[in-house]
Structure 1
Amino acid sequence: MKRATFALAMAMALCAGAQADDYPSKPIKIIVPYPGGQASDTITRLVGERLGKALGQPVVVDNRPGAGGNIGTDAGAKSPPDGYTLTIATAALPISKHVYRKLPFDPEKDFMPITLMTITPLVLVTRTNLPVKDVAELVALAKKDPGKITFASSGPGTSHQLSGELFKSLAGVEMLHVPYKGSPPAHVDLMGGSVDIMFDNIVPVAPHIKAGKLRALAVTTKTRAPALPDVPTMAEAGYPNFEATAWFGLLAPAGTPRPIVDRLNKEVVAILTSPDIKERLAGMGATVVADKPEEFGRFMANEINKWGPVVKRANIELE
């Protein structure tokens, strides 16, 4: 029995090695668990186009939105571990572990991290005709009419909603959460005046801010964002304990051969750190990280620990 087990293990190792040697021999798919037009989609297409050229195979972006990103992420978790189906992870992934009662995958056990690609601030934005010019005025207005201020998000249990819940807790205000199926429709209603405020990634909202269609009150990182240098941080606005970021990483299914993971890490890191791509991402407000798989794994674990108390305090639970 031991000889048979050893022979099987050797055969599997040889098979994995052969897969790695031939990789890639067909197109690669990257699942983006959100609609087109969001920051995750924009950054993935930018990197994917260059990755296809580096690997000599087409890289296809597959948008699979729904359930706060869990539909696409579940598909990625259950894909063959051969390096041909990858998945984009966002800040919503570690939150999902706490929010969803019956999550069909485990964010840590069912994936192998490849690299944390970028980190971007969230921006607290308002409709332009809301009578507030800064965070202090927003808090005053929210306290004057508890529950009247509405805050949009890209969906239940997302980092956008959790940022709003964190703000409610720290500012001691009541606001009504209005979830959408992705950020683009939320932007439309925000600009149209149907909702009042939103925490969203800097990448998709910066153009609306610069065009005067949305008003920015604060960014959620410790330092100001180069893309919006005149917008204060939440710490500057009086909330030093408020920090939230949007981030985008690349995952492979658990069990993917390490040589394939290392090859993907090498190529994606090279793309992200190339001067032209780095400059384009910086122009969108994204800071390149491009770390090793183990570093990304530790980052994910820290994010899971960070958002657990926020979810519990807000009493958020989804099926």
Structure 2
Amino acid sequence: MPTLQANPQETTYTSRLGLKAVAIAVLAACAALPQAWAQGGDGYPNKPIKLIVPFAAGGSTDIVARIVAEGLRSTLGQAIVVDNKAGAGGVIGTEAVAQAAPDGYTVGMATVSTMTINPFLFTRAEGLPAKLTPVANLVTIPAVYMVHPSLGVKTFDAFVAKARAEPGKISGAVPGLGTLGHLLLASFNDTLKTEIQIVPYRGAGPALNDALAGQVQLMPDQLPSAMPHIKSGKLIPFVQASDGRSPDLPNVPTFKELGYEGLNQLGISWFGIVVPKNTPAPIVKRLQEAAVKATHLPEVQQRLKTVGANASDMDQGQFPAQIARESQRNKALLEKIGVKPE
């Protein structure tokens, strides 16, 4: 039987094909490494992270976000780029987070409004929380109720007495229909049996301007943005929603100590972070651990205290349940005051 011998040219060609196949496989494997690291959390983060704030610069959410970002730079070892995407009561920025790639490099600030009110206030926000993964509840901020000095009252009892004696004559500013401020005043009326006129504005800025000018006599606001006006004497605080009296307002009682637990819980705002749905669990865990650690850094805690905020000590595993619980509460409140989605 004749012996078959390999053609040298065919052997060389086959070898080249084999080497080429190996090279392609190696390149493909290398290209897949970053994705594999991302899926497993190893090597994350290896580039700057964008932190989307769904409100304008200068407000409470923005103030908290920039403080948290400083802490995250330390605990994650990467630059945190704060990106304000305001509009539609926080919906535009929240949508931007939901639509981002689920790779851990786009993170969003989440608030009571964006996660538990907007889905029942704006048609376009319906179902939006389901497109996000809650990471951590990081910071809580008290609400403080303030009056213009011209009203002539300085205490809770004096305010309630005047409001009951003059039904419909005291007006209160809120940032818009269905906003947290609206829920606060509507619930105040319902609980204390008062008839404060609720005046909705297009945003917190215009509402605060008219409160400072005395065009409206009352406004509930979050402590960070309220404190400068309280310190200047332009607005007088008479009650706060907080687990304990703020060190900045030691003489102002809380709803809790006055026996109005529902008003107290409604008025405590929280600020957390969320990521797009389907972000790998190891990345979510890495972010959660880094964020909690960031808010407990001494320098971060000090900065939070200067604006009247506190680092949250909640069990982060309970954050999704908290969102679900408060969503049901706020949906019921919106229905009670007759605010429908637009």
- Give the TM-score of the pair, scaled to structure 2: 0.81
1:251 is paired with a residue whose SS is strand
**Shift in CA distance, 291/253, structure 1 to aligned 2, threshold 3 Å:** farther
| Alignment partner, residue 17 of structure 2 | none
1:121/1:220 contact within 8 Å kept: yes
Match of 2:37 in 1: 18
Larger radius of gyration: 2
Residues 114 and 252, structure 1, Cα contact 8 Å, conserved in 2: yes
Q: Distance in 2 between matches of 1:270 and 1:286?
A: 16
Closer/same/farther in 2, CA of residues 241 and 267 from structure 1, 3 Å limit: closer
Cα deviations across residues 118-174 of structure 1 (Å, max 9, x unaligned)? 112110111122222223333333344433322222333222221111111112222
In structure 2, C-alpha distance between the alignment counterparts of 1:126 and 1:216, rounded to whole Å: 7
Q: Which residue of 1 aligns with 2:338?
A: 315
Q: Encode CA deviations 1:245-266: one digit per residue, 9 max, x unaligned.
A: 1110010111111111111112
Residues in 1 aligned to 2:259 and 2:163: alpha-carbon distance in whole angstroms: 16
Query: Which residue, 44, 61, 73 being the options, matches 1:52?
Result: 73
User: Contact 1:77–1:111 at 8 Å: present in 2 too?
Assistant: yes
List 4+ stretches of structure 1 deviating above 4 A. Answer: 13-16, 235-238, 290-293
Report the CA distance shift for 1:72/1:129 in structure 2 as closer, same or farther (over 3 A): same
Give me the whole-angstrom Cα distance separating, in 2, the residues matched to 1:198 and 1:145: 17
1:176 matched to 2:197? The reply is yes
Aligned AA for 1:95?
Answer: I
CA 115–182 in structure 1, closer or farther in 2 if over 3 Å, else same? same
Shift in Å at residue 102 of structure 1? 4.5
Instruction: Name 1:98's counterpart in structure 2.
Output: 120
**CA RMSD between the two structures:** 2.3
Alignment of 1:258-269 (within 5 A): 258-269=281-292
Which runs of 5 or more residues in structure 1 are unaligned? 1-12
Unaligned runs of 5+ in 2: 1-31
CA contact (8 A) 1:265 1:292 kept: no
Alignment partner, residue 295 of structure 1: 318
* Contact kept in structure 2, 1:272 and 1:290, CA below 8 Å: no
Kindly tell me: are residues 36 and 182 of structure 1, through their superposed partners in 2, closer, same or farther at Cα, counting changes over 3 Å?
A: farther
Q: 2:294 aligns with which of 271, 284, 307?
A: 271
Are the aligned partners of 2:73 and 2:79 in contact in 1 as well (CA < 8 Å)? yes
- Aligned pair partner of 2:232 in 201, 206, 211: 211
Does residue 202 (structure 1) correspond to residue 256 (structure 2)? The answer is no
Q: TM-score, normalised by structure 1?
A: 0.87
Following superposition, the deviation at residue 14 of structure 1 comes to 8.3
For structure 1, which segment, 235-244 or 199-208, has the greater mean C-alpha deviation from structure 2 after superposition? Answer: 235-244
Identity level (%): 37
2:200 and 2:72 map into 1 onto residues whose CA distance is 34
